[in-house]
A and B are shown apart, each in its own frame.
Chain A
């Protein structure tokens, strides 16, 4: 006789002798016995006493064993109460009935006490297993609730840190699951002070909180630097350094970064480890692939990090489309991937660019893929600069005192020009002057133009007419990187002078470079037309500032900004 914790066993059997025999056998095995002489009594006994196991005669008056078994199973609910049918039925159909009625086993007459004991043991093991399963299920459900709550909290914190930036700008369209963050998918967008737009689509390794946690410092760097007017390269260097420092060795963030300039009608791209992005040129219908040319963020040390970007021209209406690999990796029930080819098919079939998102979503649905939380897509269009309104900058000081009468000069030489962008510092300095704050957009744009002219056309000697078509564009920026890399001599000087004037004031900016200059008169003769791909942005400078003039054969540019008294 095996030792087993004593159970309460219900014996439902209409034959008194059999009932007596069975009760004795079961009691001798150490269990407590309840008896019932028919199905109805059995159900009542179960309801009142809740035995752990039932021995049920199949044929009984009033209510037979099958019906009683059904009712008892119903009463038991999720808990497993094994029912062993007692039967001298030998037809297989009758046996099948036993199991169908919810019986777990049967015992044939004449009763064999050894077999009965074995069956009771086996059923009890099952019963305890089921109880354990339910217990663990409840525990898991509770933990799962905790986890969901943790994620909710993390997401709330993240949303405050990262906010949505300018993802709601009219030129951005995006699709992202609310829990994309917990698959490592990140989408950020922000305006620079000059009115350019930076966009980041990222994909952290891992899942859950570890994947989400890296997003916060990254977002902070992205938003902070973009707001200060830093370019893509510097922002990338900082983000890479930060992630390299804080993330474990095996964690990294694949990312594509864009810098769209509505004024210059161009997009600057850096792709580290993400699937191809696509630049859709409406005029030709071509979709240029923006391939990953870099390692993901957080892998390389600051010394070896490659911040080189590619620049492409864009016309009004052109759009850049980025997607995370959740789209491509969507699987159907046969474990087939949606894949790049199918995506290309959707592109090829697309007739109205505005419907691209819907068409991709439909294609994913038609493919029968499992919906995933990490399907992220973003489409950024180039609109007329006037159609967008970047938010006003917010200043942290009280606005009571500001420097009104000062001047400063800088000279940036070769080594500095290679790695350092002085614009954010210069602009921060100038924005200390309250009167200039209302014009900060124009200030950023003009200074950026002046500086890039001085650096690229002046010091590096790049020919601006190269930028007249898209292949020229590419060559231009390639040359820019090469020449900057190789730069040994040269300088850019920046002189700033702020003087009070009446109730307001005046800012005088002079930028000089060590280049060969250009034919100022010829360029100035051109009418102040709209925007052209090439040219030194002279139109822009003249439109946004006052009294723009060039001297010293074009090596020196001078502009002014004026402001009235503040209200």
Chain B
């Protein structure tokens, strides 16, 4: 499985880890990892993500929308420098906490 999700013990925080290319092929898996859960805090771990394209950005937007839009708390962690560059150009650090 290239999209692994884990819920914290108190059921409040969801961590989604992406392995390999974060692109349209992962669309369904990514959505399935959060859509049946009511969440407030989500962490997207990109430690093993090698690449990110515009459909991945779209997927993050869908996640954000599901988690409450402007009220959501989504953190994107462990981004490689390439991934960070892409997130920076698209200014997604204005919507997500990126580290």
Question: Which residues of A are at the interface with B, using a C-beta cutoff of 8 A?
Answer: 205-206, 249-252, 254, 272-275, 292-296, 299, 301, 304
Contact = CB atoms under 8 A, between A and B. Distances in A.
Nearest to A291: B89
6 contacts: A206-B54, A249-B58, A249-B62, A250-B62, A252-B57, A294-B91
Nearest to B66: A249
A301 B70 contact: yes
B58 A272 contact: no
B55 interface: yes
A560 to B, nearest CB: 47
Given A205-B55, A295-B95, A299-B95, A249 B61 contact: yes
Nearest to A306: B94
A329 B62 CA distance: 25
Given A273-B89, A292-B91, 8 more contacts: A249-B61, A250-B55, A250-B58, A254-B90, A295-B92, A295-B95, A299-B61, A301-B70
B94 A252 contact: no
B3 interface: no
A39 B51 CA distance: 59
Contact of B90 (A251, A296, A304): A296
Interface residues of B, number: 15
Interface of B: 54-55, 57-59, 61-62, 65, 70, 89-92, 94-95
A273 B90 contact: yes
Contacts of B61: 249-250, 252, 299
B70 A251 contact: no
A249 B59 CA distance: 9
Query: A-B pairs with the 8 shortest C-beta distances?
Result: A250-B58, A273-B90, A205-B54, A295-B91, A249-B65, A250-B62, A292-B89, A250-B61
Contacts of A252: 57-58, 61
A296 B55 CA distance: 13
A251 B61 CA distance: 9
Nearest to B69: A301
A301 B65 CA distance: 12
A304 B70 contact: yes
Contacts of A254: 54, 90
A206 B23 CA distance: 11
B39 to A, nearest CB: 16
A295 B70 contact: no
Nearest to A250: B58
A480 to B, nearest CB: 22
A273 B54 CA distance: 10
A23 B65 CA distance: 71
A274 B59 CA distance: 19
B63 to A, nearest CB: 9
Contacts of B91: 272-273, 292-296
A295 B90 contact: yes
A250 B90 contact: no
A377 B89 CA distance: 18
* Most-contacted residue by chain B among A252, A295, A301 (CB, 10 A): A295
Contacts of B57: 205, 250, 252
A252 B92 CA distance: 12
A301 B95 CA distance: 12
A299 B61 CA distance: 8
